[in-house]
Structure 1
Amino acid sequence: MKFSQSTCYSVASIFACTCVQAASGLTGLSTPKIDTHSHVYPDWYRQAVIDAGWVPGPDGNAAPPFWNVSYHLDFMAANNIEKSYVSCSSPGTNLYPNDTATNIHITREFNNYTSDLKQKYPNKFGFFASLPLPDINAALLEIDRALDELDADGFVFLSNHWGLYHGDPKLAPVYKKLNDRKAVIFIHPTNPCPKDAPANITGTPRLNYVAPLMWAYQAPVLEFFFDAARTVSDLILTGTVQKYANVRWIIPHCGGVLPAVFERFLRTSSLLGAKVGTDRPAVPYTLANATALLQKQFWFDLAGFSMSSQIWSMSRLFGPNKFLYGSDFAFTAPVGAIALTGDMNTTLPQIYNQTEIGWIFKENAVGLLGK
């Protein structure tokens, strides 16, 4: 392997910066994989995030991640990843709540960058394009550009865009177009955003206004998983998923906290109905028909610490054809990503046979996204 201790950068510094060779004894790294959850962080974007006030790192992290193309390709070779579908992680490309023009510019530049990466390495990289949400008209234009000119493989939606959660009826024109194009949407968590969050504060200072304890914990520790479940719940309870039946969704981190609350929020919402005065319709679901809906339109990547409990809960709801391999590189350092793959190699054979594990590591992604 080409990694050394000097290049073991960690995003949220979740993993100690020990040499990747320490993980090289893990079994199963030779299994071919397609990575549906990985990120690029080019230097110009790093500076844009810093300029928007995200210091010392994005989302409360201690530092921005290290990334370049060679580093990514070396990681893929070490982990036998045949292809990576890359995207922009949180805080995304819409870095300023009151500067639509800048957000559109950053979004287009990021999409151009990932499209160029795919064109240069067509067998190694695909990409999910970002959209300049919450600007609906600009998003509609970028959908067509991303698919028709840039050859995007799908789209990445943050779990909210400045408080625009994904069951919001304002998104109907976007979903209509994506449904017509039979698009794939990869949801990536970000910081929560209440309706009354200040619109004139961005970057790290904003964290204290959006959720309790954000001053104490990095967003990937708690809020990412809650906000992903929040927006998926909004999609389901409003009937958005059912209405746009051609859209296919990838949910990260084995559903976040969704496995723990899935049945509870379905049953509770069916009892209580919609809140008076809301713009959200209330579509009642049973566990059976909601599970069937997700079985048809949803896939779940296994990035992060998903093996000890989440996969066991999710495997009772969904078959092995619904799971995808994800590394979360470069926000997860190589040593951590390889260790997490080792966890998969230990746990997945307790649930699935070797053919089904092959689906999870590669074939499900081929079926969803193409080679």
Structure 2
Amino acid sequence: MTNNAGVNTPKIDTHSHVYPDFYRDAVIASGQVPGPDGNAAPPKWSLEAHLSFMDQNNVAKSYVSCSSPGTFLEANNTAAGVALTQQFNNFTANLKKTYPDKFGFFASLPLPSIPDALMEIDRALDELNADGFVFLSNFYGLYGGDPKLAPVYEKLNQRKAVIFVHPTIPCPRDAPIDVSGTARLDYVAPLMNAYQAPTMEFIFDTTRTVVDLILTGTAMTYSELKWIVPHCGSALPSVIDRVLRISSILGAKQGSDRKSVPYTLQNATALIQRQFWFDLAGFSMQNQIWNMRRLVGADKFVYGSDVPFTAFPAAIGLAGEIAATLPELFNDREIGMILADNAKKLLAKK
């Protein structure tokens, strides 16, 4: 077997971000300092650096999106959230229009405002030519299986949309909305005083919202939706067996707004194989790929770099980890699927 998984292999990047100056300024103005989600500094991004990274890493196309903390930066300021969402979507749409062979984009929605999100879906698809949508793992406590999202899912399901899930900090149901910026982090995320959000909170919150999508039957109900889950499924492959078993015994909590759909591992795996894809963005990929491999086949993995939150040189270095891991599990044809062909098929315009 040849080593067909490194820097020189053509790739389509389904997990990459832009960080334009207007967005950096908005994040800072919202009180998130020194960097978003309490990170040490804002990421360094420019169009020139992004294109250079793509050239060096043989990325044929990047599907860009807004990372955490998203475009709705103040929970009690809907007008600002809508305005920034539209500005960001306009920016990424213009990238695609200017470089149609290089860029696609996943549009943001101004959630948790359901009416404004419904309007932006139509604008993003019909006017801006979006390739899908990015959903944070929660929108101020609005997680993936929340019944309040039904109108949004119904519209997206009608459009057979692709939804890219991106982690953000967790948010308890009763978290205060009058506290914003960096000060908010200690109210909503355990151990934020000790660790930056990507260390643990991002992984766990991704898992939390995907489990919510499954256990409530949300993913099954909106069967035309296709979901891209970041970081190789985060903790999902490690906890799915236990989550399903305990849920089948206990169900949803009495008085909860969630309904509980009982799943066996076999049924849940069939659902995952039908509607979910898993990107390879992030570190410590070897164990995660091995774990996820028992749930899905080669046709359910896609490449992701997570630039610029993973610095451009580091993202190129991670191609070496991919080169070392994928040939242990997949043949050359399957590796080509993972790095490019699966994304082409998933994101092909119908």
Does structure 1 residue 86 correspond to structure 2 residue 64?
Answer: yes
Q: 2: CA distance between counterparts of 1:71 and 1:273?
A: 49
Aligned equivalent of 1:188: 166
Using the TM superposition, name which of 259-268 and 119-128 deviates more.
259-268
Unaligned runs of 5+ in 2: none
> Are 1:213 and 2:195 counterparts?
no
Alignment of 1:15-26 (within 5 A): none
Q: Which moved more, 1:80-89 or 1:304-313?
A: 304-313
Structure 1 Cα separation of the partners of residues 96 and 5 of structure 2: 30
2:67 counterpart of 1:95: no
Residues 186 and 251, structure 1, Cα contact 8 Å, conserved in 2: yes
Task: Provide Cα deviations, 1:25-81, integer angstroms capped at 9, x if missing partner.
Answer: x98211000000000000010000000011000111100001111110000000000
Q: What code does the residue aligned with 2:16 have?
A: S
**Secondary structure of 1:220's partner?**
helix
Matched, 1:45 2:29: no
Task: Decide whether the 8 Å contact of 2:5 with 2:322 is kept in 1.
Answer: no
The one of 251, 268, 273 aligned to 1:290: 268
AA aligned to 1:116 is N
In structure 1, which of residues 20, 23, 32 is the aligned counterpart of residue 10 of structure 2?
32
Q: Is the 8 A contact 2:5 2:327 kept in 1?
A: no
Distance 1:119 1:306 in 2: 35
The equivalent of 1:318 in structure 2 is 296
TM-score (norm 2): 0.98
1:142 pairs, out of 120, 128, 152, with 120
Does the 8 Å contact 2:6/2:322 carry over to 1? Answer: no
AA in 1 matched with 2:293: S
- How far apart in 2 are the matches of 1:345 and 1:61? 29
Alignment of 1:60-139 (within 5 A): 60-139=38-117
Could you tell me how far apart the structure 1 residues matched to 2:195 and 2:337 are?
Answer: 35
Classify the secondary structure of the residue corresponding to 1:246.
Answer: coil
- Whole-angstrom distance in 2 between the partners of 1:60 and 1:218: 6
Tell me, in whole angstroms, the C-alpha distance in 2 between the residues paired with 1:212 and 1:158: 19
Name the structure 2 match of 1:231.
Answer: 209
SS at 1:103 equivalent: helix
- Give the superposition deviation at 1:306: 4.3
- How far the C-alpha of 1:203 sits from its partner, in A, is 1.1
Alpha-carbon distance in structure 2 between the residues aligned to 1:268 and 1:77? 47
> What secondary structure does 2:197 align onto?
coil
Letter in 1 for 2:310: T
Percent identity reads 66
> How much does 1:338 deviate?
1.3
- Secondary structure, in 3 states, of the residue corresponding to 1:198? coil
| TM-score where L is the length of structure 1 | 0.92
Q: Which amino acid aligns with 2:44?
A: F
Partner of residue 358 from structure 1, selected from 317, 322, 336: 336
Alpha-carbon distance between aligned partners in 2 of 1:173 and 1:150, rounded to the nearest angstrom: 21
